[in-house]
Amino acid sequence: MTLDKPQRTGQLIRAAGIAYVRCLCWLVDRSRRAAGWVFLAAVLSTTGLAYFVANHFAINPDTTGMLSRDLPFQKLNAEFNRAFPNLSQNIVVVVDGQTGGLAREAAERLTRWFEQHPDLFSEVYQPTAGAFFTQNGLLYLEPTALDELSERLSEAQPLLARLAQDPSLRGLFTLLGEALDHQATDNESLPGLETILQELTRTLNALSSGSHYQLSWERLMFGEPRAQLERRQLILAKPRPEANAAQPFQHAISATQRAVRSLGLNREPGVRVRLTGEAVLDNEQLQTATTGMTFAVILSITLIIILLLVGLRNWRFVLATLVTLLVGLIWTTAFAVAIVGPFNVISLAFAVLFVGIGIDFGIQFCMRYREDFSYTHNLPTALRLSARNMGGALSLAAVAAAASFYSFVPTSYAGIIDLGIIAGTSMLIALLANLTLLPALLTLLGTHPRASHFKQRLGFAPLLLKRSAWGITLGAVLAGLAAIPWATQADFDFDPIRLQDPNSEAVSALRSLLTESEYSLYTIEFMQPNLTAARQLAARVTALQAVAQAVTLASFIPEDQADKLARVESLTVIIPPYTLVPPATDSPPDLTELHSALNTFRARLAYWQAHGAADLAAPLTGLQQAIDTYQTRFGDSPENITELQRRIMRTLPTELKRLSLALQAQEITLDNLPAELRERYLTADGRARVQVFSSLDLNQIPQLRRFVNQVQAVGPQAIGLPVLLKEGGDAVITAFRQASLIAVVAILILLLVVLRNPWDTLLALAPLALAGLLTVGSMEILAIPFNLANIIVLPLLVGLGVAYGIYFVLRWRSGEHIGQVLLSSTPTAILFSALTTMSSFGSLALASDPGVAMLGRTLSIALGWVLICTLIVLPAVLMLVAPHRNASVERRSI
């Protein structure tokens, strides 16, 4: 009889399958016969590869490098970084002070340290700090604010001039005494006297109670708004990368942290110093991923061993499975290091995928071997039977999983491409290890398992399933339909900062900066051909609702300079700058004079309370009580009078000098702007930078997306960290959609070719489809968004979902009734494989790192649904469809 083309193709596929299974039987049998040599080869090769990995393992923490360089926004970003190289990979030091003077003093000390270490840092920059902005700061005020300040300083001129001559407690108490005497006799009050008395009371009370409070002369002189702005200082230090280092900026970051400690800034009362920025966050992302995971790792290993012992019922099986898994993991890591290169924060997840699926291969093989041994009671025969009965299913599962991982290669997400190559190849490595090393280990360990007890354990399952098949199937259909609306609403949180410990120094500092538009690191950038074009674009962008301000180099040229300079000059007539400079010849008062000044002032307080103005009665009474409390506790202690002098007068000389310099403002032009400022906004060839600050809270993803969308509508060539996050997140979503489509098509074709039956193919894929819907729907209901950490659950879900479906359907196709399948080793192997993987990575949910914990929770949800769909829903469906299958349909095994 002549066969048509489809029949001939089917016979060729069947013959190829039979030949392949025979090869697997031969491979397993040869591994058994040469078990010692196989084990020796594995030990030697694994040792050599482990040494290779230890010496060449590297991690690239740059998250932007995980996206294809060919993406439009990546090209724009690369061009911008080449034009302004000093703006990226900076260590950002956030210095917060109780007063602006404390913050500036700490920032200046640390800046000097940076400048003294050019071997570690190529540049250090303090935005809006330095002599230029101190001298010309008044020109940046609005005219009304400048008038208010002029009036304030004019009224304070007598106080400032006198204090400049003696900036000590002696000078202050003498001046206050004269002012109170004058007020008591002439009923004329010194401007701001009540505020000064209240500040003195607060400072004394803080010292007496053991807390810290620094009197802010800046607030008294310039007012609260400006004082509040000055309490935070930023330092941007550009670290030099360490060549051939896994963490190229670690040495510079560690040196900075040591400097903060050695300078005593972390112990300075009223001062807080924190490090953040790209370089620090990237470095911390690698370190915090392991912080607090010790308990989770120990628990994971313990649960794996317990479950393997319960499932495999033999310590030799457990040892052989774990050794095979470890060897395969080392082989895979060596392949990745040699072929792919440095790992990124996504490709590191290959270990999660390998362990999850690699342990499954070992469990499936060992349980089938145990079942076959229960019939033959002969190790060689049982191993050959296991290879024949399980080798094809393992191979198909491995190829299907590899195909799902390789589907990431055609996408534009470079980070996931690396993961796809490594994880896809790891499936083939796991298959090879479980068909060679595992049989050899079983032989060497002399594994002779007891008779199988599957039937006794699961004898109730067929009857229960038969009674509930319709209910289970209907419930699964309804659950799947109900999950669709939730699954379609699934969101992707593209902010990598959310994957780090929110209480860490770098993250907390960054979050606090994001709430202040003046200091935010989340700014959108433009590069224009010249400054004129930059100013025009800035004007259009500033009109947007989501924009607080758009800054160019021209923004540092104050408006109405002639008028403002005239006002500053008129102020110098009232407060000549030279009157604010302390005399160089006068010596500071000693401790005796300080005590005397305090005691004299205290003795006169009762008189002033009785004869002074009514509005000063309460402040004077409070100050009297504060001084009494201080002297009762400390008496004439020299240490404490010195500390009181520091807390009250410490910042005054500096503030007087700053005011003196500010009264000597000069006209500002583009030519006399500081060079370090010019090079941050204008290149040598004239290209100009536009820096756009948001008016929104960019800690919120919808607000960040709104900011980017509005600005991109005006200028599509926008770049910067918000754009990279938003566009990068969209690229990740697109990559996973493309990969999912490719994976589904590839696996569908593979199963159609091998199974040669569309219904069996759909049955094998059904658990995956339903588990995927239920997983995504559950995450949306539980408010667990996808992110850069847990999105790798999707390929693991595909790999295990397809594998479990294949194992079950192939066992059923071998000619067994669904009831017999339930009583075989297959469902038990699937159960313990899923439980092992779930416990292994579900324990990560206990980690303190948010990204790792979210990965653990998501994996637990996904594997839970895979288990339910494979062991409950699929058997119920098979129970219903089996009687209606055409009797002529041949159930072919591979």
- The C-alpha atoms of residue 493 and residue 842 are separated, in whole angstroms, by 21
pLDDT (0 to 100) of residue 428: 92
Please give the backbone phi and psi of residue 237, each rounded to the nearest 5 degrees, phi first.
-115, 125
Under the banding of pLDDT at 50, 70 and 90, the label for residue 886 is very low
For helices 143-165 and 561-574, the axis angle rounded to 10 degrees is 30
**In this model, does residue 293 exceed pLDDT 60?**
no
Tens digits of residue pLDDT in 690-701: 999 998 888 888
**Chain mean pLDDT for the chain:** 83
pLDDT higher than threshold 70 for residue 418: yes
d(CA 250, CA 508) in angstroms, rounded, equals 20
pLDDT tens, position by position, 195-252: 888 889 999 999 888 888 888 888 888 877 777 778 889 999 999 988 766 678 889 9
DSSP at 349: G
312 contacts 285 by C-beta, under 8 angstroms = no
Running DSSP on this structure, what letter comes out for residue 223? -
Mean pLDDT: which of 65-74, 149-158, 541-550 is highest?
541-550
Q: Compute the Cα dihedral for 495, 500, 506, 508 and give only its sign.
A: positive
Tell me the pLDDT band of 784, cut-offs 50, 70 and 90: confident
Greatest mean pLDDT range, 98-112, 149-163, 612-626: 98-112
The most confident of 216-220, 331-335, 471-475, by mean pLDDT: 331-335
d(CA 405, CA 399): 10
Tokens of 412: 């534009």
Phi, psi angle pair for 450, to nearest 5°: -70, 170
Q: pLDDT value at position 810?
A: 75
Spatial separation of the C-alpha atoms in residues 553 and 455, rounded to whole Å = 80
Query: How much is the CA Rg of the chain, to the nearest whole Å?
Result: 37
Q: What's the token pair of residue 245?
A: 């280092």
Query: 281 pLDDT band (50/70/90 cuts)?
Result: confident
Instruction: Give, rounded to a whole angstrom, the gap between the first and last alpha carbons of the chain.
Output: 25
Please tell me the predicted confidence (pLDDT) of residue 635.
Answer: 78
Highest mean pLDDT among 606-615, 648-657, 710-719: 710-719
CB 382 within 8 A of CB 372: yes
Distance in angstroms (rounded) separating the CA atoms of residues 9 and 6: 5
Q: Work out the angle at residue 725's Cα, subtended by the Cα atoms of residues 723 and 731, and round it to the nearest 5 degrees.
A: 95
Q: What is the pLDDT of residue 634?
A: 83
The pLDDT assigned to 439 comes to 93
What is the percent of the chain with per-residue pLDDT over 90, rounded to a whole number?
25
Q: How far apart, in Å, are the Cα atoms of 716 and each of 514, 685, 688, 860?
A: 23, 23, 17, 41
Q: Where are the beta strands (DSSP E) in 203-270?
A: 232-239
DSSP annotation string for 613-670: -GGGHHHHHHHHHHHHHHHHHHTT-HHHHHHHHHHHHTTHHHHHHHHHHHTT-----S
The Cα 366–Cα 361 span in angstroms is 9
pLDDT of residue 894: 39
pLDDT at residue 63, as a whole number: 62
